């Protein structure tokens, strides 16, 4: 076509070459338009009709669209000889454009590869976004070297050797990238966390779900819906808590204490024991303990006319037994995990009765509801055992003393 147009173009060498460039530009634009609007449109419609999602992902990531940029570059490169004064420049520019198009296609393909991987079952075990990012970084650096080498007409090996001499400078420039790459390898190899995990990192003010793991940063959506962006290597270098184990175990811990006023602790009288027998969950326990205590005291001929003699049940011990029985009958408590109702060392705030159990529901909202229901009930029934919850005196308490 160029040979056909040559007789109609100016014969002055410079004007002729410029006319050839203008003709090549028009032809390239037409070819590019046909490639994008006709050929790629037909291919896209064909891909959309297929059952597989792989070709759709390639289309969405513009892999084929970016291939279209190679068409004008090929036209300019193959017909550069028609403009002798600009042949060298046109060929170099065309090769550079082809290399740039290749880089764009590779980047799009890597993005598509990430999308394809996200649809597999393996994406839940290992996140590859950081690996794709470092791969793109390396490819883009090498591609940039090749483009520069083509433009200046030098060997890429020569430029790469020069880069080798600048390794120390490059390591300083890409220090964070290198540290982040190592951190990403640690995250994947040790399965430290993945997208969807609940991460708590108080030093960064982060407490919520991981929504993205990239080469340079980890995004955590906090429970107040704010987003914390933490450098990957800094998160790995510091301490953080991953709640995944709790979620996967199927149980969430309740660890809370009731502080009993020690002035209300006493031995159980017969009247108190008869009252406790009427508590459905305590009936068997009280009868069993009464029998055990009575047999023990009789075997040692102990005078039981005084409460202090021999073995006796206490109201606080019976209350512990009630808590255990009540929770054993609670369908929201996990029966196969640690179940402990214990008495801790007395402190200035009273005698701590600690409840250490696990709920069988790990959802935060429901868990808080279960925990609240348990302690609502226990705080309400404490007076039935002749016990009082310790509470620091308030202004109202002091005013009562003053009035007396």
Task: Quote the pLDDT of residue 133.
Answer: 76
Look at residue 402 and tell me if it is in a domain. no
228 Rama sector, left if φ>0, alpha if ψ -120 to 50, beta otherwise: beta
Lowest mean pLDDT among 217-226, 235-244, 278-287, 345-354: 235-244
99, 209, 266, 361, 371 from 366: Cα distances, Å: 57, 18, 37, 7, 9
The answer on 339 and 197 residing in a single domain is no
345-397 confidence digits (pLDDT tens): 999 989 999 999 999 998 889 999 999 999 999 999 999 999 999 987 766 66
**Last residue of some domain: 170, 186, 202?**
186
Structure-derived torsion over alpha carbons of residues 194, 196, 197, 202, reported in degrees to the nearest 10: 110
Task: Quote the pLDDT of residue 162.
Answer: 61
6-22 confidence digits (pLDDT tens): 554 445 455 656 676 77
The answer on 126 and 262 residing in a single domain is no
The answer on 66 and 20 residing in a single domain is yes
Quick check: 75 pLDDT over 60?
A: yes
Distance of CA 42 to the CA centre of its chain: 40
Three-class DSSP category at 308: coil
Look at residue 403 and tell me if it is in a domain. no
Phi, psi of 259 (to 5 degrees): -100, 115
Q: How many CA atoms lie within 13 A of 240 on its CB side?
A: 28
Task: Quote the pLDDT of residue 402.
Answer: 65
Look at residue 400 and tell me if it is in a domain. no
Look at residue 287 and tell me if it is in a domain. yes
pLDDT band at 121 (very low <50, low <70, confident <90, very high): confident
Give burial (CB, 10 Å; 0-12/13-18/19+) of 358: buried
The answer on 228 and 107 residing in a single domain is no
Region 154-175: mean pLDDT is: 65
Domain that holds residue 215: 193-245
Task: Quote the pLDDT of residue 248.
Answer: 78
Percent of the chain with pLDDT over 90: 27
Contact 379, 258 (CB under 8 A): yes
The answer on 256 and 177 residing in a single domain is no
Structure tokens given for 324:
């255990």
The answer on 144 and 22 residing in a single domain is yes
pLDDT band at 124 (very low <50, low <70, confident <90, very high): low
- Predicted model pTM: 0.56
**Last residue of some domain: 144, 160, 186?**
186
Look at residue 276 and tell me if it is in a domain. yes
**Last residue of some domain: 205, 224, 245?**
245
Distance of CA 172 to the CA centre of its chain: 29
The answer on 337 and 258 residing in a single domain is yes
Lowest mean pLDDT among 119-128, 164-173, 255-264: 164-173
Lowest mean pLDDT among 229-243, 291-305, 346-360: 291-305
Quick check: 95 pLDDT over 70?
A: yes
Quick check: 205 pLDDT over 80?
A: yes
The answer on 295 and 148 residing in a single domain is no
Higher local confidence (pLDDT), 391 or 327: 327
The answer on 285 and 215 residing in a single domain is no
Look at residue 325 and tell me if it is in a domain. yes
Structure tokens given for 203:
């030093």
Write down the mean pLDDT value for the chain: 82
Structure tokens given for 215:
């080469």
Look at residue 18 and tell me if it is in a domain. yes
The domain that holds 236 is classified in CATH as 2.30.30.60
pLDDT band at 5 (very low <50, low <70, confident <90, very high): very low
The answer on 24 and 169 residing in a single domain is yes
Higher local confidence (pLDDT), 324 or 137: 324
Residue 370 DSSP code = H
Q: What domain count does the chain have?
A: 3
The answer on 41 and 173 residing in a single domain is yes
Higher local confidence (pLDDT), 117 or 370: 370
The answer on 215 and 280 residing in a single domain is no
Task: Quote the pLDDT of residue 8.
Answer: 43
Look at residue 401 and tell me if it is in a domain. no
Which candidate, 255, 296, 258, places its Cα nearest to that of 385?
258
Percent of the chain with pLDDT over 70: 85
């Amino acid at each position: 076509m160029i040979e056909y147009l040559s007789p109609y173009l100016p014969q002055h060498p410079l004007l002729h070459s410029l006319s050839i460039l203008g003709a090549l530009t028009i032809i390239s634009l037409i070819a590019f338009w046909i490639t994008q609007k006709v050929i790629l449109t037909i291919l896209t419609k064909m891909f959309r009709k297929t059952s597989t999602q792989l070709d759709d992902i390639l289309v969405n990531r513009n892999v084929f669209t970016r291939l279209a940029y190679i068409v004008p570059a090929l036209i300019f490169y193959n017909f550069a000889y028609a403009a002798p004064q600009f042949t060298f420049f046109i060929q170099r520019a065309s090769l550079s454009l082809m290399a740039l198009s290749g880089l764009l296609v590779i980047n799009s393909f890597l993005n598509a590869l990430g999308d394809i991987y996200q649809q597999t079952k393996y994406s839940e075990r290992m996140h590859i976004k950081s690996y794709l990012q470092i791969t793109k970084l390396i490819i883009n650096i090498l591609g940039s070297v090749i483009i520069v080498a083509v433009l200046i007409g030098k060997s890429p090996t020569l430029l790469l050797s020069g880069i080798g001499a600048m390794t120390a400078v490059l390591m300083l420039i890409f220090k964070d990238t290198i540290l982040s790459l190592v951190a990403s390898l640690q995250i994947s190899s040790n399965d430290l966390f993945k997208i969807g995990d609940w991460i708590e990192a108080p030093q960064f003010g982060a407490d919520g779900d991981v929504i993205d793991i990239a080469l340079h940063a980890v995004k955590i959506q906090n429970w107040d819906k704010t987003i914390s962006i933490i450098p990957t290597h800094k998160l790995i270098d510091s301490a953080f808590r991953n709640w995944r184990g709790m979620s996967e175990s199927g149980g969430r811990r309740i660890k809370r204490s009731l502080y009993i006023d020690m002035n209300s602790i006493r031995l159980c009288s017969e009247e108190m024991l008869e009252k406790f027998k009427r508590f459905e969950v305590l009936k068997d326990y009280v009868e069993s303990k009464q029998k055990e205590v009575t047999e023990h005291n009789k075997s040692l001929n102990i005078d039981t006319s005084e409460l202090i003699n021999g073995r006796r049940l206490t109201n606080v011990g019976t209350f512990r037994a009630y808590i255990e029985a009540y929770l054993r009958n609670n369908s929201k408590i996990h029966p196969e995990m640690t179940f402990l109702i214990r008495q801790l060392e007395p402190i200035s705030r009273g005698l701590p009765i600690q409840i250490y159990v696990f709920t069988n529901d790990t959802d935060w909202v429901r868990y808080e509801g279960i925990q609240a229901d348990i302690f609502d009930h226990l705080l309400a029934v404490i007076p039935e055992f002749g016990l009082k919850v310790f509470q620091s005196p308030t202004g109202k308490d002091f005013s009562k003393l003053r009035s007396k």
